[in-house]
Structure formats: C-alpha cells, structure tokens
C-alpha cells in the first residue's frame, strides 16, 4: 500500500490555503466531521508542507477567545474550527464580542455530511441524522460579515482567500465557513495553494489636507475640544448655538 501513489484530498488544500493566507493556528474542538482534517495534518507532518499549528481546545467559546486575543495582540487573524451545529452554537457568545470589537476571525465548522451513500465521508453513524440542520449558519448570520458553505473541493483556495479578504477589510470582523465532511475528503488535483494571498485594501484614513484643516481648527480654538467637534459637523463656536 505504501508504494501506491497517494491521492490528494481537499482538506490538504484547506490547511495549506490557511497557511498561505497567514493563519498560524487552528484552534479546534473536533468531532466526527474532522476525519479529513486529521488525515491532512498527518500527511503534512510527513511531507513538511506548511500548515497552521493545531491546538485542541476543550470548549468552543474558549477557542474563539484564544483566536480573538491572539489577533488583538498581533493584528493577524486566526482560524477556529468546531463540530457541526452544536460546536457552532457554543461559539456564539465570544463571536458576538469579536463582532462588536471588529476582530477578524475565520470561524469554520464541520457540517453533517450531505450524502447518505457514495463518496468517502458520507453519513455512517446515527448522529449524522440527529445533528442535521436546514440552516446551520442561521444562528450566527446576523453576527458575521459573511458566511458560506464549501460546495466543491476544488474551490478551497479561492474561498479561504475571499473569507479572509472580507474579514480584514474595514470595518473588520468575523466570518463563517461550513465544511461538509465528504467535500473535505474528496480527491483533488494538485494545486498551488501556496500562492501569495490577494491584496487587501488598507484601513480608511483621513487625507493629509483634512488632517491639516483639523490641526488649524484646534490651534485657533479657545475651546479646542468643543471647537473640533463643532467644526467636524460644519459649525463654528461663537457663531451658532451648538
């Protein structure tokens, strides 16, 4: 068996796309949907390909908080992966905080397999029916900037790039991606997931002329704070009531 050529699976593309886009850690609370991810980490260890460092976290809320804190300190967004609907539900409190603080996080979760027979990774235990949801992302759609479900194994690189592009664009915030098990386990053609990440717009800044105008207002003001606030709204202290 070891002499046979090993096919590549989409989960390998997923991990390598994360690394190529600057993700250093995958904070995870795993379940039955993680089999392709575990296989991909095992293969990466044998080939020394660049992937994020996996950290197993006992609770999903803590996993999001760890990604949140790391991003606050470094400015670099990280990834979290949880187990289907129950794992996603356990992230919501920390996810709300991240959204309010404009912290970019890539939250991913497994999704109950779509198929009941056929491809590798299809449903094979009772929990795959018990944990099915018609709209798994519905519980967090109002919290995140963007949500998507991976539909094809060959789109992993583009989806990860797009997710992080949206998460880091101003105003930044968390995004959500669900990952069906059998899609992650599908065979893919070798691809260059290590290509440089897409360019991302810089944060909006005031123009130099606006900064100079504000400095002039403050320098000339008798009440600098009140004057600056008034001028910013088109009023002048002493000429109109504010």
DSSP code at position 45:
H
Cis peptide before 34 (omega within 30 of 0): no
pLDDT at 216: 85
Mean pLDDT of the chain: 85
175 & 213 share domain: no
pLDDT at 193: 52
CATH number, position 85? 3.40.50.970
Question: Model's pTM, two decimal places?
Answer: 0.78
134 & 214 share domain: no
43 & 162 share domain: yes
226 & 108 share domain: no
pLDDT at 195: 62
Which tokens belong to 8? Answer: 């590549």
73 & 17 share domain: yes
pLDDT at 179: 94
pLDDT at 242: 40
SS3 236: coil
Residue 149 has pLDDT above 90, yes or no: yes
Domain membership of residue 19 (yes or no) is: yes
pLDDT at 241: 44
pLDDT class for 227, splitting at 50, 70, 90?
Answer: low
The larger pLDDT score, comparing residue 92 to residue 6, is at 92
Domain membership of residue 112 (yes or no) is: yes
pLDDT at 147: 96
Separation of first and last alpha carbons in the chain: 80
Residue 177 backbone dihedrals phi, psi, to 5 degrees: -135, 125
Given a contact cutoff of 8 angstroms between Cβ atoms, the answer to whether 184 and 37 are in contact is: yes
User: Domain tally for the chain?
Assistant: 2
Domain membership of residue 89 (yes or no) is: yes
pLDDT at 233: 66
Q: Which of 188, 219, 234 is the last residue of a domain?
A: 188
Mean pLDDT score, 138-145: 95
pLDDT class for 221, splitting at 50, 70, 90?
Answer: confident
pLDDT class for 172, splitting at 50, 70, 90?
Answer: very high
Locate all alpha helices (DSSP H) within 90-207, ordered by sequence: 92-100, 127-130, 156-168, 181-184
Domain membership of residue 107 (yes or no) is: yes
As beta bridge partners, residue 82 has: 109
pLDDT at 87: 92
Domain membership of residue 197 (yes or no) is: no
144 & 229 share domain: no
Q: What percent of the chain has pLDDT over 70?
A: 82
Cα separation of 210 and 212, whole Å? 5
Cα separation of 78 and 56, whole Å? 14
The larger pLDDT score, comparing residue 102 to residue 197, is at 102
Range with the poorest average pLDDT among 62-76, 90-104, 122-136, 137-151? 122-136
Residue 165, number of CB atoms within 10 A of its CB: 17
103 & 211 share domain: no
Mean pLDDT score, 180-204: 74
In terms of residue numbers, what domain contains 230?
206-242
């Amino acid at each position: 068996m070891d002499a046979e050529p090993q096919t590549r699976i989409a989960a390998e593309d997923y991990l390598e796309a994360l690394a190529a886009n600057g993700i250093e850690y995958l904070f995870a609370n795993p379940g039955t949907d993680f089999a392709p991810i575990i296989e991909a980490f095992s293969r990466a260890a044998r080939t020394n390909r660049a992937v994020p460092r996996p950290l197993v976290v006992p609770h999903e809320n803590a996993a999001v908080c760890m990604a949140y804190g790391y991003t606050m300190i470094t400015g670099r967004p990280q990834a979290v992966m949880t187990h289907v609907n129950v794992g996603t539900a356990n992230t919501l409190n920390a996810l709300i905080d991240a959204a309010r603080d404009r912290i970019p996080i890539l939250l991913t979760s497994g999704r109950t397999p779509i198929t009941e027979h056929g491809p590798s990774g299809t449903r094979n235990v009772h929990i795959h029916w018990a944990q099915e949801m018609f709209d798994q992302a519905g519980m967090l759609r109002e919290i995140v900037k963007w949500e998507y479900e991976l539909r094809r194994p060959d789109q992993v690189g583009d989806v990860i790039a797009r997710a992080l592009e949206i998460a880091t664009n101003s105003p930044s915030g968390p995004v959500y991606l669900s990952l069906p098990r059998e899609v992650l386990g599908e065979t893919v053609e070798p691809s260059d997931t290590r290509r440089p990440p897409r360019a991302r717009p810089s944060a909006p800044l005031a123009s130099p002329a606006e900064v100079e105008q504000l400095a002039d207002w403050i320098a000339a003001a008798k009440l600098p704070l009140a004057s600056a606030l008034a001028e910013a709204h088109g009023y002048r202290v002493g000429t109109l009531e504010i």
